[in-house]
Amino acid sequence: MRILLAEDEPKVAEHVRLGLVAEGYAVDVAVDGDEALWLAQENAYDALLLDVTMPHKDGFTVVRHLRRRQITTPVIFLTARDDVEDKVRGLDAGADDYLTKPFSISELLARLRAVLRRQRPQSATVMRVGDLELDLVSHEARRAGAQIPLTPREFALLEFLIANSPKPVSKTAIVEHVWDQHFDSETNVVNVYVNLLRKKIDRPELPPLIHTVRGVGFALREGPP
């Protein structure tokens, strides 16, 4: 999943970014409110993590702008301001949650998972295609009952493919959702990761699930290509 983190303190931003990347999230970082607003309008994010006190535009202002433009991406405020009035103001502005600094990365990840689950209650916490299962809470994958070890990036790629199944997704769409804004789109890393997934999921004794759709990209689905 792709996350926008807006935080003007470089050390805090890097600490949070690394914690999210370690869990398989693709993370774009904005250093002020103007940049956060521009990125949130230009890209399809799964969630926004916004500091309240930022240069140019504060987090409250950013969220109000987004909601007026019918952009309903979930928002969690990250802030040192813990007054009840500030929390109420943030939630009324359109945020989904409010986390007071200092906080642990594990708590942030738990709140992020909770917000994302509310956005897609129909899928609950387990995604399935045929005999393939992906548990979004435990970060475990299984096929035909056997556990499949995945790196965080492989997990993120598989989650994106399952979420779009049975439709094919382009390499561009994969890059936008699985890697951050600094990714070099000219590399063949998408092909590399798809092949890594194939080796783990499409074992010789099982029918293939990951298919190459010529001229389009890749699809994860049961049945022939």
Q: What is the pLDDT of residues 174-200, one digit of tens each?
A: 887 787 656 665 668 888 889 999 999
Number of domains, the chain: 2
Of 119, 144, 179, the last residue of a domain is 119
Q: Quick check: helix, strand or coil at residue 152?
A: helix
Verify that 180 and 154 share a domain, yes or no: yes
Q: Is the preceding peptide bond at 166 cis, omega within 30 degrees of 0?
A: yes
Of 74, 89, 119, the last residue of a domain is 119
Nearest to 31 by CA among 61, 66, 57: 57
Verify that 92 and 169 share a domain, yes or no: no
* Contact predicate 20/27, CB 8 Å: yes
220 forms beta bridges with 210
Q: According to the model, what pLDDT value does residue 76 have?
A: 92
What residues make up the domain containing 135? 123-220
Verify that 105 and 171 share a domain, yes or no: no
Residue 52 Cα distances to 41, 62, 76, 102, angstroms: 18, 9, 10, 14
Residue 201, CB-side half-sphere exposure with 13 Å CA sphere: 30
Q: According to the model, what pLDDT value does residue 172 have?
A: 81
Verify that 134 and 186 share a domain, yes or no: yes
Q: According to the model, what pLDDT value does residue 120 have?
A: 62
Q: Quick check: helix, strand or coil at residue 165?
A: coil
Task: Name 60's Cβ contacts closer than 8 Å, sequence gap at least 6.
Answer: 52, 89, 90, 93
Q: According to the model, what pLDDT value does residue 97 have?
A: 87
Residue 225 located in a structural domain = no
Q: Report pTM.
A: 0.66
Measured distance CA(172)–CA(189) in Å, rounded: 12
Residue 13 located in a structural domain = yes
Q: According to the model, what pLDDT value does residue 22 have?
A: 81
Q: According to the model, what pLDDT value does residue 196 have?
A: 92
For the chain, residues with pLDDT lower than 50 are 122-123
Q: Where are the beta strands (DSSP E) in the chain?
A: 2-6, 26-30, 47-51, 75-79, 97-100, 126-129, 132-135, 140-143, 146-148, 210-213, 217-220
Measured distance CA(1)–CA(167) in Å, rounded: 18
107: amino acid identity, one letter: E
Measured distance CA(210)–CA(204) in Å, rounded: 13
Q: Where are the beta strands (DSSP E) in 65-139?
A: 75-79, 97-100, 126-129, 132-135
* Helix-, strand-, coil-residue percentages of the chain, each rounded to 5: 40, 20, 35
Q: According to the model, what pLDDT value does residue 34 have?
A: 93
